[in-house]
């Protein structure tokens, strides 16, 4: 397809210039708007800034594995992700799909096949890729960057453990909604921990000390006694 009508915006993430050039030419000629990123960090930022309709992602990036990019995106967006990779082994495909990819195309690939998969991904793409949650969420005390998986307070990065981040991310993604104790324990620790509510008291206290201005009187990381927790701006 040629002409002025834009079908969708596609972010191509690949560090091979020939692949990027071929995709840009072929997709642009068919009415897609093409954005490119050459490493994982740039990809995460590009999705947050431009909110593409589809991401075409190589797994072998210079700064991080493509599966880390998928995991980072799935922390806050449902944008369709098509993996385009030279890794053809079944375990690699399973790992990418388990991380949250929607489709997997092996290099070398046929352009017609990729275009067909891209059209299918565009059809599945929701109107809003962020589900109402921005990649960067700012309160009067701290800032959470869901794409980069970072927290800042007073302009300085706050070190959070993997578990602390898991709790915080789940609460921020469900901003304004009660997240039950069981849901937090199940999603962050696993299904065998659903009754270990003391874990939550410990980790919420740690998060409040690191992020809230007055940890004893939290304004954002709130407790609903006996039920769960809630994040509010």
Taking only the tens place, the pLDDT of each residue in 157-212 is 999 998 999 999 989 988 888 888 988 998 888 878 888 899 999 999 999 999 99
pTM for the model stands at: 0.61
Query: How do strand 54-57 and strand 9-13 relate by DSSP bridges?
Result: parallel
Angle at 52 between CA 46 and CA 57, to 5 degrees: 70
3 state SS of 44: helix
Question: Which range, of 2-16, 160-174, 215-229, averages the lowest pLDDT?
Answer: 2-16
Contact 176, 165 (CB under 8 A): no
Q: Give strand ranges (E) for 80-167.
A: 81-85, 103-106, 136-138, 142-145, 150-153, 156-158
3 state SS of 231: strand
Range 45-50 average pLDDT:
89
Of all residues in the chain, the percent with pLDDT exceeding 90 is 47
DSSP single-letter state for residue 189: I
With 0-12 CB in 10 A as exposed, 13-18 as middle and 19+ as buried, what is 51?
Answer: middle
CA distance 1 to 60: 31
**pLDDT interval class at 106 (50, 70, 90):** confident
3 state SS of 84: strand
Provide the pLDDT for residue 133.
59
CA distance 132 to 146: 13
**pLDDT interval class at 94 (50, 70, 90):** confident
CA distance 206 to 19: 46
Q: Look at residue 78 and tell me whether its pLDDT is greater than 50.
A: yes
Between 190 and 220, the higher pLDDT residue: 220
Range 36-65 average pLDDT:
92
Between 77 and 7, the higher pLDDT residue: 77
CA distance 30 to 37: 20
Question: Which range, of 43-47, 58-62, 174-178, 195-199, averages the lowest pLDDT?
Answer: 174-178
Provide the pLDDT for residue 130.
43
Contacts (Cβ under 8 Å, ≥6 apart) of 6: 31, 32, 33
Give the chain's mean pLDDT.
Answer: 87
Q: Look at residue 5 and tell me whether its pLDDT is greater than 80.
A: no
CA distance 96 to 103: 9
**pLDDT interval class at 72 (50, 70, 90):** confident
């Amino acid at each position: 397809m040629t002409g002025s009508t834009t079908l969708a915006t596609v972010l191509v993430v690949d560090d091979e210039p020939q692949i990027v050039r071929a995709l840009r030419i072929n997709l642009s000629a068919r009415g897609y708007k093409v954005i490119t990123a050459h490493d994982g960090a740039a990809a995460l930022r590009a999705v947050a800034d431009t909110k593409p309709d589809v991401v075409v992602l190589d797994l072998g990036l210079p700064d991080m594995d493509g599966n880390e990019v998928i995991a980072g995106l799935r922390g806050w967006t449902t944008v369709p992700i098509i993996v385009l990779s030279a890794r053809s082994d079944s375990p690699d495909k399973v790992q990418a799909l388990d991380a949250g990819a929607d489709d997997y195309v092996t290099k070398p690939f046929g352009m017609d096949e990729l275009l067909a998969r891209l059209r299918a991904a565009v059809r599945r793409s929701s109107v809003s890729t962020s589900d109402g949650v921005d990649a960067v969420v700012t309160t009067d005390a701290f800032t959470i960057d869901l794409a980069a998986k970072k927290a800042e307070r007073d302009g300085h990065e706050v070190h959070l453990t993997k578990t602390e981040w898991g709790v915080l991310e789940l609460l921020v993604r469900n901003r304004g909604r009660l997240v039950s104790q069981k849901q937090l324990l199940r999603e962050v620790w696993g299904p065998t921990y659903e009754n270990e509510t003391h874990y939550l008291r410990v980790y919420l206290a740690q998060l409040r000390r690191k992020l809230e201005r007055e940890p004893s009187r939290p304004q954002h990381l709130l407790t609903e006694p006996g039920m769960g927790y809630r994040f509010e701006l």
